[in-house]
Structure 1
Amino acid sequence: MTSGLASTSAPLSATYDLAMLDLDGVVYVGPDAVEGAAQSLQLARENGMRLAYITNNASRTPREVAEHLRGLSMPDVKDGDIVTSAQAVAHLVADAVPSGSAVLLVGGDGLRVPLEERGLRCVTSLDDAPVAVVQGFHPDIGWRQLSEASFAIQAGLPWFASNTDMTMPTPRGMAPGNGSLVQTIRSATGANPIVAGKPEQPLFDETVERVGGAHPLMVGDRLDTDIDGAINAGVDSLAVLTGVSSVQDIVDAAPGRRPTFVSFDLSGLNESHSDVVLDGDRARCGEALATARHGTITVETADRRSTEALRAIVGLAWSLRDGSDLRMTVDGTLVA
């Protein structure tokens, strides 16, 4: 039985040539940088890794996102390093309709700008003869826009959505995301949109096309979008614990929905990931020894927040689950 985790003899930033970095929960949380993120990304760049900042959020333009990142001292961020689901969906629409077509916009400037860059004309009424409906999140979307989109879809127009995230993080807590607004239209029409954002593949294709890279690594904090998306796109992934998904979530992940690598934060980009050696109810990774007893995994190591400790925990849990269908609980004192 294997641990299910890949290993490397060199740091990830020297093994992969492109990091596809999710933003909220990985690089920043709300308005503030994740502790140590800028330093980790600077070192990754020095190791030769390209950095692409990718996001399902279609409410801001790449320039606005880049300005935010520069304000957080992320290393040498250019506007072209940002790739949004709005850009990906604009590409899908431009490939599907004649150049110069009118499209019914359900969103703000974050979606309008990439549509116009693709040569499309944004309108807000079915009376303006659009040939498609394009939807992305904006906080000012209301009943009138959702209704106009519903009328257009019922009239037979194809429907494109930047993403279907049901929630989005804010400084005050979780709020309805674009997926919640998509669901409103779905309920009214019975239709389903063509989706560009994670976990679908178009955003990954758009990133490689814009930023380059032959051997990319997806870095994310959410199993349901970042890691599932990487799997759908055939891309290796690193799951970090600075955002939504917890150690227990990763331990509970079923085969086919698991990250390639795990680390507590972006410092894992600049580490080698040692083999996990399994021995029944024990697993060793470097100096860390994980042990399973009565359904709970504990770890012995000088640094419980090391990548080695996390790999030992996850590798042992996956091995036991796959071998005997046991669901393991991680000792809550081990990790934050």
Structure 2
Amino acid sequence: MADALRTAYDAFLLDLDGTVYHGARPIPGAAEAIRRLREQGTPVRFVTNNASKAPGDVAAHLRALDVDAAPDEVSTSAQAAAKLLGDRLPAGSAVLVVGAPALEDEITAAGLKPVREAGDDGGDVAAVVQGHNPATGWADLAEACVAIRAGALWVACNVDTTLPTERGLLPGNGSMVAALRTATGATPEVAGKPEAPLFHTAAASANASRPLAVGDRLDTDIAGAVTAGVDSLCVLTGVATPATLVAAAPAERPTYLGADLGALAEPPGELRIAPQPGWQVRPHGDTLVADGDGTPLALLRTLCAVAWDTGVTALRPGGERATAAFTELGLPTGGEPIR
């Protein structure tokens, strides 16, 4: 399909949790969409903020879900954090790890010494690195607290507050980071998304000059793409919702919007967040009134474009078709502002 979005870019930087899978459950259509990218010869990179698995384990998990993947196609926030610390600390420095064994391995590979205890006063620990690990508990946070209070550099692999799983949204690394913030009054440096290096490294590994980032989170996947200066596609299979898209801050606004990865087969013009044929959205006082006919997603793209342009997020349907589309999108129909 000559006019498909997938033909317009020279690499695709795909988020995983909420975009390709929910934990152990594949998102319908994702494997087929990725297979089509490979058939046309376009490089694929898997860019994940989840620091709990090594690249080889991530690739194996993807293959188990019928997605072809190699370890060197995976870029994780654990790798980004280890590189940051390796660039900042003398070789052999002690780094207290709050996270999974995969994060420990990345710290070792960076020439540093992973430890799990801060000692009596935390003074021997040069840095604390924190990544997602379902097994993290109070004792782990207590060790990190001692080291951070003693002056250790604190690096968070990511600050995603939630993690999309087959059971729904569960606490992410950012929720654990928030606990340490409260306990120490300190703020960590963030190595993964929404910072740009993870995107730049993944694009460089594919020799790409025009990559497209794809993800489900506005505050990490899309914000990271904006920071890195690359176009982005937001999919509605994870965290982002129609309401959060309408109210998105400038730094978190995607180029395109699709239901899922199947959108890569659709024309860019139909996916771009811009006024779409069939729908009219006009200001009426301090409210945007929508009317017309078309698909709900086309209406959402139009609503986002006008809301972003005007700064008005109070929405109201102006007819039966619009009311049905609002209902399908889960948007309020009473004209109240979306925040």
Q: Tell me which interval the TM-score lies in, with the shorter structure as reference length.
A: 0.7 to 0.9
User: Is the counterpart of residue 207 in structure 1 residue 202 in structure 2?
Assistant: yes
Could you tell me which residue of structure 1 aligns to residue 193 of structure 2?
Answer: 198
* Equivalent of residue 122 in structure 1, options 114, 122, 129: 114
Number of equivalenced pairs: 315
Q: Residue 273 of structure 1: CA displacement?
A: 1.6
Could you tell me which residue of structure 2 aligns to residue 327 of structure 1?
Answer: 314
In structure 1, C-alpha distance between the alignment counterparts of 2:207 and 2:93, rounded to whole Å: 29
Q: Residue 218 of structure 1: CA displacement?
A: 0.9
Could you tell me which residue of structure 1 aligns to residue 57 of structure 2?
Answer: 64
In structure 1, C-alpha distance between the alignment counterparts of 2:305 and 2:136, rounded to whole Å: 43
Q: Residue 131 of structure 1: CA displacement?
A: 1.8
Summarize the Cα distance change of 1:48–1:12 in structure 2 as closer, same or farther, 3 Å threshold: farther
In structure 1, C-alpha distance between the alignment counterparts of 2:259 and 2:271, rounded to whole Å: 17
Could you tell me which residue of structure 2 aligns to residue 24 of structure 1?
Answer: 17
Instruction: Point out the more displaced range, 50-59 or 240-249.
Output: 240-249
In structure 1, C-alpha distance between the alignment counterparts of 2:272 and 2:117, rounded to whole Å: 61
Q: Residue 44 of structure 1: CA displacement?
A: 1.6
Runs of 5+ in structure 1 lacking a partner? 1-8
| TM norm structure 2 | 0.83
The answer on whether the counterparts of 1:276 and 1:284 sit within 8 Å (CA) in structure 2 is no
Summarize the Cα distance change of 1:210–1:275 in structure 2 as closer, same or farther, 3 Å threshold: closer
Could you tell me which residue of structure 2 aligns to residue 11 of structure 1?
Answer: 4
The answer on whether the counterparts of 1:107 and 1:135 sit within 8 Å (CA) in structure 2 is yes
* Equivalent of residue 36 in structure 1, options 29, 32, 48: 29
User: Is the counterpart of residue 239 in structure 1 residue 239 in structure 2?
Assistant: no
In structure 1, C-alpha distance between the alignment counterparts of 2:74 and 2:159, rounded to whole Å: 20
Could you tell me which residue of structure 2 aligns to residue 171 of structure 1?
Answer: 166
Percent identical among aligned pairs is: 43
Could you tell me which residue of structure 2 aligns to residue 6 of structure 1?
Answer: none
In structure 1, C-alpha distance between the alignment counterparts of 2:303 and 2:173, rounded to whole Å: 37
User: Is the counterpart of residue 290 in structure 1 residue 282 in structure 2?
Assistant: no
Runs of 5+ in structure 2 lacking a partner? 330-339
The one-character-per-residue Cα deviations of 1:271-304 (angstroms, maximum 9, x if unpaired) are: 32227999xxx9544xxx1134774535534xx3
Could you tell me which residue of structure 2 aligns to residue 5 of structure 1?
Answer: none
Could you tell me which residue of structure 2 aligns to residue 91 of structure 1?
Answer: 83
Q: Which amino acid aligns with 2:200?
A: D
In structure 1, C-alpha distance between the alignment counterparts of 2:140 and 2:161, rounded to whole Å: 18
In structure 2, C-alpha distance between the alignment counterparts of 1:95 and 1:130, rounded to whole Å: 16
The one-character-per-residue Cα deviations of 1:172-228 (angstroms, maximum 9, x if unpaired) are: 333222112112221222111111121122322332344442211110111121111
The SS at the match of 2:58 is helix
The answer on whether the counterparts of 2:96 and 2:144 sit within 8 Å (CA) in structure 1 is yes
In structure 2, C-alpha distance between the alignment counterparts of 1:79 and 1:253, rounded to whole Å: 34
Q: Which amino acid aligns with 1:154?
A: R
Instruction: Point out the more displaced range, 14-23 or 86-95.
Output: 14-23
Could you tell me which residue of structure 2 aligns to residue 134 of structure 1?
Answer: 129
In structure 1, C-alpha distance between the alignment counterparts of 2:114 and 2:271, rounded to whole Å: 53
User: Is the counterpart of residue 46 in structure 1 residue 39 in structure 2?
Assistant: yes
Whose relative contact order is higher, 1 or 2, with alpha carbons under 8 Å and at least 6 apart?
Answer: 1
Q: Which amino acid aligns with 1:319?
A: V
| TM norm structure 1 | 0.84
In structure 1, C-alpha distance between the alignment counterparts of 2:186 and 2:272, rounded to whole Å: 49
